[in-house]
Amino acid sequence: MTKIGVLVGSLRKESFSKKIATNVASLFPKGYDAEFVEIGNLALYNQDFDDENNAPSEYTTFRNKMKEIDAVLFVTPEYNRSVPAVLKNALDVGSRPYGESVWNGKPAAIISQSPGKLSGFGANHHLRQPLVFLNMPILQQPEAYIGNVADLLENGKIKDEGTVKFLQSFVDAFVNMIKRHQA
């Protein structure tokens, strides 16, 4: 079983990102388990925690969970033309202590969304920067920018068949990339 960690960059109960991620998680084929990984409970990263061997238990739980994950799907809104702080914090927590990054070599894919037409383009591309540094191969094509997200959802489900087909092609490309990296 290949484990896909799903990290959602929004903490809101009725998060559009969470709804999109839930829909996309159901598109993975048999043999791929998409598991949501909690990031909202992580204290802001502080190197003193690791230097003093006093990391919060949430750090340890998160790091151990991510070590079990084979690939990562990020689904995020855009906050002020960048990624939400909670998502960047999760990347920082997982990248430390130095030399023990849980991200190294794990295939990644990004879906950004927004209620407007810009579709989280800035967040998508800002997120790519730390992922490159963290040595995470990133799905390049198809790119997934979901604009006008509120209009696409009905009772939490994507109602537009064209969007579902596109997201299926995105998942298929991600699965093929994961297979190449596992070979």
Question: Once rounded to an integer, what is the mean pLDDT over residues 96-110?
Answer: 97
Cβ neighbours, 10 Å, residue 115 = 15
Residue 183, pLDDT score: 87
Pairing of strands 108-113, 144-146: parallel
- Per-residue pLDDT band for 179 (boundaries 50, 70, 90) equals very high
Strand order across the 2-8 sheet: 32-36, 2-8, 71-76, 108-113, 144-146
156-173: average pLDDT? 97
Confidence band for 116, pLDDT divided at 50, 70 and 90: confident
Statement: residue 48 has pLDDT above 90? yes
The rounded percent of the chain whose pLDDT value lies above 90 is: 97
Structural domains of the chain in order of their starting residue, each with its CATH number: 2-182 (3.40.50.360)
Q: What is the pLDDT of residue 118?
A: 84
Cα dist. 42→37, 46, 74, 121 in Å? 11, 11, 17, 26
Angle (nearest 5°) at CA 164 between 158 and 166: 140
Tens of pLDDT, residue by residue over 4-25, are: 999 999 999 999 999 999 999 9
Would you say residue 122 has pLDDT above 90?
yes
Sign of the dihedral through C-alpha 28, 163, 71, 65 = negative
The band of 145, judged by pLDDT with boundaries at 50, 70 and 90, is: very high
